[in-house]
Amino acid sequence: MKKRRIMEAAGVILFCFLMVIGVAAGTKKNQHQTLNSTEVAADELQTEGFAVADGMEVNVLQDVFYTQDIASVDPGSLVEVKGAKDCTVSIDGYQKLESLDAEQNQIGEFSNTVPEEEGYYKVSITVSDKVQGSVMTDAVLVYDKTAPEIAGVADASFDSEPTEDMITCSATDNIDGPVDCQKQIEKISDEEYKVTVKAVDKAGNEAVATATLTVGAEGDKGTGQEQQQSAAASSDSANVEQGTNTGAGTQNVADSWQITQYGDEGGAQYMFYTIVDNTGRLVIVDGGYEENADAVRNVIKQHNNHVTAWIITHPHADHVGAFNAIMSANTDNAITVDRIYTIPVNKERYEATAQDYDNIGTFEKFYSLSQTMNNISYLNAGDELDLIGLRMQVFHSWDANVDALPDHLCNDGSMMFKVSGKKKSMLFCADVQSEMEPYILASYRNQFHADYVQLGHHGNWGLTTDFYDVVNPSAVFFDGPRSLIDDESGKYDGYLLRNYFAAKGIPEYRFTTAPNTVVVE
């Protein structure tokens, strides 16, 4: 904690005056060196303009304070004062910060006006004692008066009694990003349940959302509209040619789409997303390992066992494994899929260059399944289509540049695509790595900006910060557990991107808080 010792004023005033002159430049340079540490030596602190005397010590109680009402913050609650006889504590100024990470993130001058805008602030605190004199220090306040936004809570029907793990929802705070959701299911009758989801941010702002869950016959009545939509969507022709503008599920008008990331903090990296529009149509992106198949089935069941479009970015086990398991067992066509989109793998070249980590058997199984399907389309860079009302642009797929690589063909041949509404968009980078950056940016640099981005190769050994600077996202998705992202031993490099985005004040979503949902409009 920041500590300031007050030296005797009597007999040393001239000495202190000379010392202030002698080190003035260094003192000003070192003031408030870090926002995250409260351990600062006495000679690094501002004492200019204050009497100094031995016996009083001021400690800031914690690194960061959260408040719903910055005007009512009690300055005495921010510090601990030792050795004072009769002191007062006051806040003398506020300075806006871009983030919590570094001094260079200051984006404003100190002002004695109480801020009205939410955000991060450094506050100047003065402790004055009639006997000991005065000390000046600073603390960091996060001013957050807005409750989190809960997404994904909607009326739904189930074949059996619903449980909390069947409810896919997430909450996002406008300051700190993802917030944990607390779910509670209340039984109203044998056919009806009420789910209540609550999210509380660090400042204590609370959001609550509720929905009605139906079971059995009552639930079936509620899904009639979805059944009609599914039937209409299944008749849609989704043949895709480069430069054309056809797609899946274009019959219904949608103006809002929830994009949800799924993940298991206790497991391995994988990729599983859903895109659901406000009419109930479902798009799946990948699905994860074969072991994740039950989780994918559960999501499909919530949509009347119907998938409007299933996108397979590339045939690695952590992306296509669940698809293989579900479709192999779907002999009775209990699950219907209107259209499958994937990449045109050069089978001969892939088999010739595959490494152990490619798990070529997973590809062989996917390839075998694909040969029996008449609803599969292979997308190339430059293709565009309507995806349940979203504009889908393909920026990268398997091509001659991928064929020329010595290895990593499946990762670098992944489908990179962007989905856009009228106001917001999300870029999916799949497992594309830095080798492909020059080719992709040369063709699509001016089209890459997106509000959200799924980081290439799970955020580990993937794309560079130069690439993400072009995208300039408002939030990013790591598709991996803490062990992948926070390991700084050198085995992985996810922590470098973590630190990079944190320094820029860009929120991150990861398996720790999954399922995580954002809304594209």
Residues 209, 138, single domain; the answer is: no
In a domain, 434, yes or no: yes
Terminal Cα-to-Cα distance of the chain (whole angstroms): 45
Last residue of a domain, one of 222, 242, 259: 222
- Residue 17 confidence (pLDDT): 41
Average of pLDDT values for 414-418?
A: 98
Using a 10 angstrom Cβ sphere, with 0-12 exposed, 13-18 middle and 19 or more buried, the burial of residue 8 is middle
CATH of the domain at 159: 2.60.40.10
User: Is 2 within the bounds of a domain?
Assistant: no
Is the pLDDT reported for residue 286 higher than 60?
Answer: yes
- Closest by CA to 319, choosing from 357, 353, 349, is 357
In the structure, what pLDDT confidence band is assigned to residue 245 with cuts at 50, 70 and 90? very low
**How many structural domains compose the chain?**
3
Whether residue 3 is predicted with pLDDT greater than 80 in this model: the reply is no
pLDDT at position 348: 95
Encode pLDDT of 333-343 as tens digits.
Answer: 899 999 999 99
- 460-519 pLDDT, tens digit each: 999 999 999 999 999 999 999 998 899 999 899 999 999 999 999 999 999 999 999 999
Per-residue three-class SS string for 11-77? CCHHHHHHHHHHHHHHHHHHCCCCCCCCCECHHHCCCCCCCCCCCCEEEECCCEEEECCHHHCCHHH
Determine contact, residues 426/397, Cβ cutoff 8 Å.
no
Let me know if residue 168 belongs to a domain.
yes
Mean pLDDT, the chain, rounded, equals 81
Same domain (yes/no): 245, 105: no
Residue 502, judged by CB atoms within 10 A of its CB (0-12, 13-18, 19+), counts as middle
Whether the CB-CB separation of 268 and 295 falls below 8 Å is answered with no
201 in the same domain as 228:
no
Tell me, yes or no, whether 5 lies in a domain.
no
Residue 335 lies in a domain: yes
509 located within any domain: yes
Domain boundary among 143, 158, 179: 143
pLDDT tens, 40-91? 333 333 333 333 345 678 888 888 899 999 998 998 889 888 887 778 999 9
Number of residues in the chain: 521
User: 166 lies in which domain range?
Assistant: 147-222
Record the tokens describing residue 325, joined without a space.
């398991």
204 and 298 assigned to the same domain: no
Q: What is the pTM of this model?
A: 0.58
Whether 437 shows a pLDDT value over 90: the answer reads yes
Q: Are residues 382 and 314 in the same domain?
A: yes
d(CA 345, CA 30): 57
Does residue 232 share a domain with residue 209?
no
- One domain for residues 428 and 373: yes
Residues 343 and 271 in one domain: yes
Give mean pLDDT, residues 437-459.
94
Residue 496 sits in the same domain as residue 360: yes
Q: Which of 74, 109, 143 is the last residue of a domain?
A: 143
CATH number of domain containing 234 = 3.60.15.10
Taking residues 209-218, report their average pLDDT: 77
Q: Is residue 3, in this structure, part of any structural domain at all?
A: no
- Judge whether residue 218 has pLDDT over 80: no
Residue 293's alpha-carbon distances to 9, 259, 282, 410, in angstroms, are 73, 19, 16, 22
- Inside any domain, residue 6: no
Q: Which residue has the higher pLDDT, 222 or 198?
A: 198
Phi, psi for 234 (deg, rounded to 5): -65, -20
Q: State the average pLDDT over residues 361-390.
A: 94
Residues 237 and 304 reside in one and the same domain: yes
Task: Based on the fold, state whether residues 262 and 384 are members of the same structural domain.
Answer: yes
Give yes or no: residues 160 and 122 share one domain: no
Question: CA 247 to CA 420: how far, in whole Å?
Answer: 14
